[in-house]
Amino acid sequence: MTKKGITVLSGGLDSTVATSIYAEEYDLTALTFNYGQQSFDQEVKHAKLLCEKLGMHHAVIDLPWLEHISTSSLTSDEKIPEPSDDDLDDYDAALETAKSVWVPARNTVFCSIALAYAESIHAEIIIVGWDYEEAVTFPDNSKDYLDAFNKTIKYGSFDNIEIKAPLIDMNKEDIVSKGQEVNAPMELSYSCYTGNEKHCGVCESCKRRRRAFIKVNIDDPTEYEK
C-alpha cells in the first residue's frame, strides 16, 4: 500500500520544492488555504497546476475568519512593503517587512488543519516548506517551532504523524539548487505577494526568489513586471 501524506501547498517556490522531494514516495493530498490574501487566485491556480503535474489530490480550505482578524498587508489595503536589495540582509529592515505581512498564527492554524486531514486519511507525514532564510524573521518557520509542533502531535494525536520540513536548514539559493536536483516544477510555482499575473519583482518574496536563481546561476523561469 502506498504511503499517504499531506502537503501544505501555497504554490510558492518553497512548498513546491519541499513537496517534490516526497512526491514519488507518497500519495499526497495538497491543501491550499484561502485566508483573504491578495495572491489567493494566483496561488490556487498554480497549486492546481502543480497538483496536476505531480499527480496529487487537491483541496482548498477557506478561512474567512482569519482574514477578518488579520491586519496584515497581505489581507488588507495596506501597502505591501517593497524593500531594497540591501534590506534583504538587514535584520531590522527585514523584520519590519515580516511584521507587515504577518498573519496571526498562520502556520499554527495550517498545521492543525493539516493534522486533522492527515488523521482522517491515515497519512504518515505533513510536508511544509519552512526554511532557514525565512526563519530569521518568521518564528513559525524555525527548527524550534518545527520540533515543538511535532512534540505537540505526539501528545495530541493517536497516530504516528510527523511534520517534514526538508528545507529547514536551507536558504533560497539552496532551495533553488535542490529544486533542480529533484526536478521540481519550479516554473509552475508562484511567489509574489501582490497577486498579479506576473510576479511584481519588487516585494520581498519576489526579490528573494529572483536573487536565489541569479546566485546559483540557474535560469529563472519567472516573468517579472519590474
DSSP 8-state code for residue 36: S
**Integer Cα distance of 90 and 48 in angstroms:** 35
**Integer Cα distance of 188 and 163 in angstroms:** 24
Question: Which among 143, 113, 115, 117 has a CA at the least distance from the CA of 130?
Answer: 143
Q: Which helix (H) or strand (E) holds 7?
A: strand 3-8
Instruction: Write out the chain's pLDDT in tens, 226 residues.
Output: 789 999 999 999 999 999 999 999 999 999 999 999 999 999 999 999 999 999 999 999 999 999 999 999 999 999 999 999 999 999 999 999 999 999 999 999 999 999 999 999 999 999 999 999 999 999 999 999 999 999 999 999 999 999 999 999 999 999 999 999 999 999 999 999 999 999 999 999 999 999 999 999 999 999 999 9
What would be the CATH architecture of the domain defined by 3-215?
Answer: 3-Layer(aba) Sandwich (3.40)
**Integer Cα distance of 201 and 28 in angstroms:** 31
Domain boundaries, the chain: 3-215
The percent of the chain in helix, strand and coil, each rounded to the nearest 5, is 50, 15, 40
Phi and psi (nearest 5°) for 137?
-120, -10
